[in-house]
């Protein structure tokens, strides 16, 4: 059991759909001590990312869906911020675009002591 767990761009990339994302958050929750902290950075609204010529699916979630998933998995969301990106500007997008995320979020949550 851990006091703090961090993750950057993992849950949405390891989950092809919302149910899988929910299960992933639940699995990580079981590794965290009650009262422990979860620090997350992830994509909002992404549906893919690319590595070289290979395209991988990503679970596209909204900010509201993300917050609810953590709350329903026994977390108190202490802070959630959206970091706006310009990576999807149609004037600069081309075949080398690595992902199609709408924005990026950071989340700080504490596992509720039950």
- Which carries the bigger pLDDT value, residue 103 or residue 63? 63
Question: What's the mean per-residue pLDDT of the chain?
Answer: 87
- 33-53 per-position pLDDT tens digit: 999 999 999 989 888 888 888
Distance CA 110, CA 20 (A): 21
Classify domain 2-39+57-111 at the CATH topology level: Rossmann fold (3.40.50)
| Residue 71 predicted with pLDDT over 50 | yes
Buried b (16+ CB within 10 A) or exposed e, 47-70: eebeeeeeeeebbbbebeebbebb
Q: What is the CA radius of gyration of the chain?
A: 15
Predicted TM-score (pTM) of this structure: 0.83
Amino acid 40: pLDDT: 96
The DSSP bridge partners found for residue 48 are 57
- What is residue 45's three-state secondary structure? coil
Domain extents in the chain: 2-39+57-111
Distance CA 57, CA 49 (A): 7
């Amino acid at each position: 059991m851990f006091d703090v767990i961090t993750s950057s761009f993992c849950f949405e990339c390891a989950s092809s759909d919302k149910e899988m994302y929910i299960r992933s958050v639940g699995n990580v929750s079981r590794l965290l001590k009650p009262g422990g902290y979860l620090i997350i950075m992830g994509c909002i609204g992404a549906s893919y990312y690319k590595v070289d010529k290979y395209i991988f699916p990503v679970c596209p979630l909204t900010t509201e869906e993300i917050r609810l998933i953590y709350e329903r998995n026994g977390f108190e969301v202490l802070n959630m911020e959206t970091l706006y990106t310009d990576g999807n500007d149609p004037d600069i997008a081309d075949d080398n675009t690595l992902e199609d995320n709408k924005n990026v979020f950071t989340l700080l949550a504490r596992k509720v002591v039950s």
